Structure 1
Amino acid sequence: MKNKVKILILIKKFGLKFPKHKQKYEMIKALEEFADVYYWHNDGSIIEILKKFKFTPDFILHYDFAWNGHYAPKISDLDKINIPKGCFVIDIHWNKEKRRNYFITNNIDLIFSVTKHPFLHAFPEFKEKHRWIPFSINPNVIKDWKLKKDIKFLLMGLVHYNNVKHPPKGRYRFRDAVYEKMKSIEGFKFNKHPGHLTSSTKMVNENFAKELNRSEIFFTCGGVFQYPVIKFFEALGCKTLLLAEPNPDILELGFKDGENFVACNISNFYKKALYYSENKIERERIINNGYNFVHTHHTNKVRAKNFVQYIEEFLADKKST
């Protein structure tokens, strides 16, 4: 049996402070099944940080440093070490020049991103370093809670409405259209986004999953940036019918219209929503396919295995050259 790769992860314990993002932290924790994982949570020089450990890691992973460092510590001197290193990227639209400068000045070897097409569009020069690690689900939370389906149509998350300035109008055009059309329809329910940095657990994790599980139909989209947002996976994983505006990443990941979700747009979502609301057999066929699809191909365990394989392959190639 081969020795597990040793990975030092530079990340803050944001899963405890910000319940909304607990799943993102659990996604990283899942690496522990396939690698020897060690953590560092504070700002500092990587040279001094490495002195705290009694071993030399095979690989260093710096979590996403965006959004004022809420999720990862500020680390200096990454360019001064020879240990292979990578970083994790979520929101491509955050300060592109600062990201580009970070990749270059720190001599980053691998860039793990939750997006593929948006990342390569924004940073085509880093194609060889890019590794795609989409969002995934924790099947202990995102599951069939076997609750009564007492919500006919559900929309949750960031939506621009009335005088709300965030998100900007047009960022989530599909969701905005759904909200405006459906808000007066009987059986429709809308839950606001709880806030990224909130400590509230009202509509996150188990509570969020149960709300999805109660709904017959759920709407979402990846917005103007065409991100494969985690709601795509969570909806299917909680056994609701997903009506969504598709994007290239989602389609490449195996989402198939009429098979495991329903693709729609601003012009036809209402007609499709009514059709599937009235056709239970068709609705449940797609729901069951989607549930099995996500729980087979898009769990934290599946992602963690792919994540570690990317690292092992890179280290093997580096060793052979």
Structure 2
Amino acid sequence: MNKLKILFITRDRSQQMEKSSYYLGEEMKKQCDLMFWYKDGHIKTILAQIPNKPDFIFLNDFLDPTLCPKIKGLDKINIPKGMIFHDISYQIKIRKEYINREKIDFIFAHYRDAFMKWYPELAHRFVWLPHHVNTTVYKDFQLPKTINWLMMGATVRHIYPLRVIMLNAMKDQPGFVYHPHPGYTVVQNAKQGSLVGDEYAKEINRSKMFLTCNSVYEYILMKYFEVLACNTLLLAPSTQETTDLGFIDGVHFVAINRMNFLEKAQYYLSHESERLTIAKTGYEMVRSYHSTEARVKHLLSNITKLISLRNGK
């Protein structure tokens, strides 16, 4: 059977702090016949310059110029087209207009329930593409667990209120460490001392527990996957979406809220055996079902089905 031919229109994300799109593309290269396009242009001109006619065109969003180049003429071609939506809370009206104007067939988004809430009229075009984790970067380095509780990332009150509450409650606890978000930029522009790539993963691996939240939007963010992949106990809120992705409270992670996070953080510090068992089970689950390799296999299977659906087969 011939490999699926996909044109991935994206910016080069290899030097960015946030590399999920880069990891996705690198894994897709292994599993399909992938062609990259990084520059602005007209789609018909692009198709004339690449080696093969693609079975599917995959666009890495359209609003952020660091994610995707500007492409004209998408509504003029008949090849099935799909687009990743990253920040689905941003410019909702513009996103809806673009999808209809450019005749984008399918929308790949990381967050199912929020998408259905904000884009109900596009539900028939939705494809769930949850976050994934590159297990060659996020892994168990077997470093000494020298940090009792770790928190990393943004603490903007109106977006991450629970993080702010936890930070204020935990900041004076012995063994608690907090690192602010380094910002979305290229690696070489990161502030001195910022933890990125392997160093970020190693810091997670040094911690016994990692406290985070899912924002006011109740997103299952990348940290859910990254923390478990480093064999560290995750303390974070639970929703139906986390459950449907296989994150079971007390088995793979520990569900918390603003009323019980401190009690649970203290409990699992003094109950090491339970902490290690849950962390290990979560580690194995994420590596099996949510690695970038596993996610791409599912993605390509979905795209094959979508092509058949689009072509009426």
TM-score of the pair, normalised by structure 2? 0.96
Asked if 1:37 is matched to 2:30, the reply is no
1:293 is matched with 285
Equivalent residues of 1:243, 1:262 under 8 A apart = yes
3-state DSSP class of the match of 2:45?
Answer: helix
Equivalent residue in structure 2 for 1:179, among 147, 167, 177: 167
Equivalent residue in structure 2 for 1:213, among 187, 197, 205: 205
Asked if 1:58 is matched to 2:55, the reply is yes
Equivalent residues of 1:31, 1:307 under 8 A apart = no
Partners of 1:61 and 1:27 in 2: CA distance:
12
3-state DSSP class of the match of 1:112?
Answer: strand
1:122 is matched with 118
Partners of 1:273 and 1:202 in 2: CA distance:
26
Asked if 1:107 is matched to 2:107, the reply is no
Equivalent residue in structure 2 for 1:196, among 173, 184, 187: 184
Shift of 1:55: 2.3
2:149 is matched with 153
Task: State the one-letter code of the partner of 2:102.
Answer: N
Shift of 1:315: 1.5
Shift of 1:198: 4.3
Extract unaligned runs of 5+ from structure 1: 160-166
Equivalent residue in structure 1 for 2:87, among 53, 70, 91: 91
3-state DSSP class of the match of 1:149?
Answer: coil
3-state DSSP class of the match of 2:150?
Answer: strand
Partners of 2:186 and 2:2 in 1: CA distance:
40
Partners of 2:239 and 2:159 in 1: CA distance:
14
Equivalent residues of 1:23, 1:205 under 8 A apart = no
Shift of 1:50: 1.0
Shift of 1:266: 0.6
Equivalent residue in structure 1 for 2:258, among 266, 269, 276: 266
Equivalent residues of 1:86, 1:110 under 8 A apart = yes
Asked if 1:47 is matched to 2:39, the reply is no
Shift of 1:251: 1.8
TM-score of the pair, normalised by structure 1? 0.93
3-state DSSP class of the match of 1:51?
Answer: helix
Partners of 1:130 and 1:89 in 2: CA distance:
10
2:158 is matched with 170
Shift of 1:320: 4.3
Alignment of 1:214-233 (within 5 A): 214-233=206-225
Task: State the one-letter code of the partner of 2:228.
Answer: L
Task: State the one-letter code of the partner of 1:14.
Answer: R
Equivalent residues of 1:27, 1:300 under 8 A apart = yes
Task: State the one-letter code of the partner of 1:60.
Answer: I
What whole-Å deviation, never above 9, does each CA across 1:50-86 have from its counterpart, x for those lacking one? Answer: 111232111101102233x111101111001111101
1:23 is matched with 20
Task: State the one-letter code of the partner of 2:70.
Answer: K
Shift of 1:29: 2.1
Task: State the one-letter code of the partner of 1:50.
Answer: L
Distance change >3 Å, CA 213–CA 54, structure 1 → 2: closer
1:3 is matched with 2
Shift of 1:248: 2.9
Partners of 1:229 and 1:24 in 2: CA distance:
15
1:163 is matched with none
Shift of 1:91: 0.9
Task: State the one-letter code of the partner of 1:53.
Answer: I
Matched residue pairs, number? 309
1:164 is matched with none
1:279 is matched with 271
4+ aligned runs moved over 3 Å, structure 1 = 318-321
Partners of 2:160 and 2:112 in 1: CA distance:
19
Task: State the one-letter code of the partner of 1:146.
Answer: Q
Distance change >3 Å, CA 319–CA 64, structure 1 → 2: closer
